[in-house]
């Protein structure tokens, strides 16, 4: 039986998840330099600018041209803000171009944004029929439809399994490839949703059978996990002593990467056998991170903003070497 698409709902008003809490934790120095790696529609950036002093500076990045266009009014209204079209994995390169060394805070609000999800033309959602695009940056890269038209059955299976935890990954991939061989490639969201509904026999209560497939394709097309790892790899060189790293994740794959990164840099480096035999040698110090918090949206926010229910925010602070004063 064909998968029936729900009638497209009116777009939800964009509500920034963990708005106040994220800026509370991020703000280490009212006159500092901050990076918002995921500008979106500017919720966190606006809140941050409202609390910073006149000498502060905010560099905001977004890979989505629509987000950059929507943020121009805010840029014109506040000279402390610079808005750059770039993925957050390139935040270090952007700082280099702007002549900025270390910063007092980095904020990453991961995943797809409400405007991207609610605009059927972007192809992120199975709730309305559209071209199967899914690119966050519509100026580059291959679409989800192009990936499905070129990848073999094993690659499609891997993506659906690894990024969507889809138990029926092989059955879905087999149906996609079979349709392609019949001259019927999947090019639209409704086609993919119908195919998945036919291939997935058991469904979780309250969840559309296409949910995991759409998530997996979005993560793959946008290289979201690789982007996150690349962004985190620059933190130890770019975050000033006392500065804060704040990351909001919406699924376990992202959160696991963030958790392991923070915990890995919070551990003291092990002494070598030679160092342990020298009692008068100074203790080696590699300035790392101090894990500060793991935050979930409270009941009121989860009730008012359903998309906050899966959000997990992790916070860490860059440690200062001995004798160096931390940021107040």
Would you say residue 47 lies in a domain? yes
Tell me what pLDDT residue 204 has.
Answer: 75
Clarify whether residues 107 and 232 are in a common domain.
yes
Tell me what pLDDT residue 114 has.
Answer: 84
Last residue of a domain, one of 221, 255, 273: 221
| Structural domain containing residue 277 | 19-114+225-318
Last residue of a domain, one of 161, 195, 221: 221
pLDDT band at 324 (very low <50, low <70, confident <90, very high): low
Clarify whether residues 147 and 91 are in a common domain.
no
Would you say residue 323 lies in a domain? no
Clarify whether residues 39 and 163 are in a common domain.
no
Would you say residue 133 lies in a domain? no
Alpha helices per DSSP H over the chain:
19-26, 43-51, 65-70, 72-77, 91-98, 114-118, 144-150, 153-164, 169-181, 189-199, 211-221, 224-232, 235-238, 252-266, 273-276, 299-304
Tell me what pLDDT residue 15 has.
Answer: 82
Domain count, the chain: 2
Clarify whether residues 145 and 206 are in a common domain.
yes
Clarify whether residues 212 and 231 are in a common domain.
no
Q: How confident is the model over 205-249, as pLDDT tens digits?
A: 778 999 999 999 999 999 999 999 999 999 999 999 999 999 999
Clarify whether residues 92 and 173 are in a common domain.
no
Would you say residue 2 lies in a domain? no
pTM higher than 0.85 for the full model?
yes
Clarify whether residues 175 and 256 are in a common domain.
no
Clarify whether residues 107 and 38 are in a common domain.
yes
Q: How confident is the model over 113-123, as pLDDT tens digits?
A: 888 888 989 99
- Which domain CATH number covers 198? 1.10.150.170
Pairing of strands 289-295, 312-318: antiparallel
d(CA 259, CA 265): 10
Q: What is the mean pLDDT of residues 135-163?
A: 97
Residue 109 has pLDDT above 60, yes or no: yes
Are 38 and 88 in contact by the 8 Å Cβ rule? The answer is yes
Clarify whether residues 30 and 99 are in a common domain.
yes
Clarify whether residues 35 and 105 are in a common domain.
yes
Would you say residue 12 lies in a domain? no
Q: In whole numbers, what is the pLDDT of the chain averaged over residues?
A: 90
d(CA 42, CA 48): 10
Clarify whether residues 158 and 238 are in a common domain.
no
Tell me what pLDDT residue 12 has.
Answer: 43
Would you say residue 145 lies in a domain? yes
Would you say residue 327 lies in a domain? no
Clarify whether residues 279 and 312 are in a common domain.
yes
Residue by residue, DSSP assigns 232-252 as HTTHHHHEEEEEEEEEEESSH
Residue 88 has pLDDT above 90, yes or no: yes
Of 71-75, 113-117, 208-212, 267-271, least confident by mean pLDDT is 267-271
Residue 328 has pLDDT above 50, yes or no: no
Alpha helices per DSSP H over 32-105:
43-51, 65-70, 72-77, 91-98
d(CA 197, CA 187): 16
Q: How confident is the model over 164-187, as pLDDT tens digits?
A: 999 999 999 999 999 999 999 999
d(CA 6, CA 141): 29
Would you say residue 324 lies in a domain? no
Last residue of a domain, one of 221, 239, 262: 221
């Amino acid at each position: 039986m064909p998968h029936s698409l729900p009638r497209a709902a009116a777009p939800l008003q964009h509500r920034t998840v963990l708005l106040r809490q994220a800026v509370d934790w991020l703000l280490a120095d009212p006159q500092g330099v901050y990076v918002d790696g995921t500008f979106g529609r500017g919720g966190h950036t606006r809140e941050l600018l409202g609390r910073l002093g006149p000498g502060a500076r905010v560099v905001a990045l977004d890979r989505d041209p629509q987000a950059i266009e929507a943020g121009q009014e805010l840029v014109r209204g506040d000279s402390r803000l610079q808005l750059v079209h770039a993925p957050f994995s390139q935040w270090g390169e952007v700082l280099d171009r702007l002549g900025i060394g270390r910063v007092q805070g980095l904020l990453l609000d991961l995943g797809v944004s409400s405007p991207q999800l609610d605009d059927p033309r972007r192809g992120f959602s199975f709730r309305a029929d559209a071209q199967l695009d899914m690119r966050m940056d519509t100026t580059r890269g291959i679409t989800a439809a192009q990936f499905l038209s070129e990848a073999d059955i094993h690659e499609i299976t891997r993506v659906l399994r690894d990024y969507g935890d889809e138990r029926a990954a092989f059955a879905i991939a087999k149906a996609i490839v079979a349709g392609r061989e019949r001259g019927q490639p999947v090019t639209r969201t409704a086609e993919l949703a119908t195919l998945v509904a036919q291939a997935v026999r058991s469904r979780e209560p309250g969840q559309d059978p296409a949910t995991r497939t759409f998530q997996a394709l979005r993560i793959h097309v946008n290289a979201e996990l690789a982007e996150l790892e690349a962004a985190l790899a620059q933190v130890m060189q770019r975050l000033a002593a006392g500065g804060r790293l704040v990351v909001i994740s919406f699924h376990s794959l992202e959160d696991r990467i963030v958790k392991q990164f923070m915990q890995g840099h919070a551990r003291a480096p092990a002494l070598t056998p030679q160092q342990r035999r020298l009692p008068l040698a100074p203790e080696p110090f590699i300035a790392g991170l101090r894990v500060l918090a793991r935050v979930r949206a409270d009941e009121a926010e989860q009730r008012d903003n359903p998309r906050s229910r899966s959000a997990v925010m992790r916070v860490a602070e860059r440690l200062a070497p001995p004798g160096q004063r931390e940021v107040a």
